[in-house]
Structure formats: structure tokens, C-alpha cells
Amino acid sequence: MRVATERLVLREFVEDDWRTVYAIESQPEVVRYQTNDVYDEAAAREYVQGILVSAREVPRLVFDFAITLDGVMIGRTGMKRGDDPRMASLWFEVMPELQGKGYATEAARALLGYAFEEVKLHRVYGDCDPRNPSSARVMEKVGMRREAHLVQNVFIKGEWCDSLMFAMLASEWRR
């Protein structure tokens, strides 16, 4: 997979990307509302190895793409198909120094295009902690519908956390 947007290219991971994954996900503010803890180098290598393996699975259930700007990886976005493979949950992250420039929105929009037009999914959904407004804002900006505010539905980093749920259907994407 390779998708070009106005400023970015989304591409498949390569082994060496663990260095950027480490640079981004060793920062506590990046993983604050994610289930994983900060990565050390070994965890970043292991994560990328896992991505490379899952990318070869047939049918493919996990799609994780490097977001690149001028050929340099600045983040990642991806999705995972559920028990019903016509649906998937998405995610995105951008290195802190480059946040606030619309890159996550541009990448997430490209991912949705890929999900609906290439993979032919029916529904893509995403969730975020209400204390993570930039994530909610990205999902709003790409046109996902806010569907729910779940209360203390997930236990992350020692506390029960709420989730805002967003989703888009293929029919909504086509509109």
C-alpha cells in the first residue's frame, strides 16, 4: 500500500522504522491515553517486527502504515479488522514536534479512503479518551460521527477511563 496526499505519503513499514517508532513512543505524552506504556528500543523493534508479520497475513487483519513527510517518517496510522472483517477500528499518532499542522487529519482521511475504497469496509470506528481532545478533533474533522460517550469502560494505567466513540460508514464516506 502506498497512498499520497497533498503533503504526505502513507506507506508500509520497513524494518528500520523501529527507530522512529522508538523516538515517538518513548515519549510519555504520546502514550498517555493508549493501552501500551512507553517503548524502550527492544519494544519498538518488537512492535515493528509484529507489524511486518501481520502485513503478510492473508486475509490481512491489521494495517499499520508509516506517515511520511518528504520521505521521513513522522507518525503512523492504521486499522484493525474485528471479528466481522467488514469493520475496523482506526488509530493515528504524530510526533509531538509536528503536531497541530493537520498531519493526523490528512493521514486519517487517506486511511479512511483506503479502508472504504480499496478494502471495501462497511464501517470504521475509533475511540479516544475525552481528556485527549486533539484525537477527538481529528475524528470529527475527517467526518466521523460521534456515537457515544462510554463511562469507565476501559482500565488504562491504573484507572478506569471513559471513551468517546466515533464511526463512519461506507455510505457516509461516499457522500
Ligand X SMILES: CC(C)(COP(=O)(O)OP(=O)(O)OC[C@H]1O[C@@H](n2cnc3c(N)ncnc32)[C@H](O)[C@@H]1OP(=O)(O)O)[C@@H](O)C(=O)NCCC(=O)NCCS
33 binds ligand X (CB under 6 A): yes
> How near is the Cβ of 58 to ligand X at its closest, in Å?
26
**Interacting stretch for ligand X, rule CB under 6 A, among 53-61, 88-96, 146-154, 166-174?**
88-96
How many residues sit close enough to ligand X to count as binding (CB under 6 A)? 20
Give alpha helix (H) positions in the chain: 18-25, 28-31, 41-55, 103-113, 133-141, 170-174
Exactly one of 103, 114, 125, 166 binds ligand X (CB under 6 A); that residue is 103
157 binds ligand X (CB under 6 A): no
92 binds ligand X (CB under 6 A): yes
As given in the structure block, the three cell numbers for residue 90 are: 482506526
Q: What is the dihedral of CA 133, 139, 140, 143, to 10 degrees?
A: 180
37 binds ligand X (CB under 6 A): no
**Interacting stretch for ligand X, rule CB under 6 A, among 6-14, 109-117, 130-138, 162-170?**
130-138
User: Among candidates 150, 141, 130, 149, which has minimal Cα distance to 168?
Assistant: 141
The Cα 60–Cα 116 span in angstroms is: 15
> How near is the Cβ of 84 to ligand X at its closest, in Å?
21
Measured in whole angstroms, the distance separating CA 142 from the mean position of its chain's CA atoms is 13
**What is the three-class DSSP state of 131?**
coil
> Which residues 44-83 are close enough to bind ligand X by CB under 6 A?
none
Burial of 88 (0-12, 13-18, 19+ CB in 10 A): buried
Exactly one of 30, 66, 111, 161 binds ligand X (CB under 6 A); that residue is 30
Which residues of this protein are in contact with ligand X, per CB under 6 A?
A: 30, 33, 91-94, 99-105, 128, 132-135, 137-138
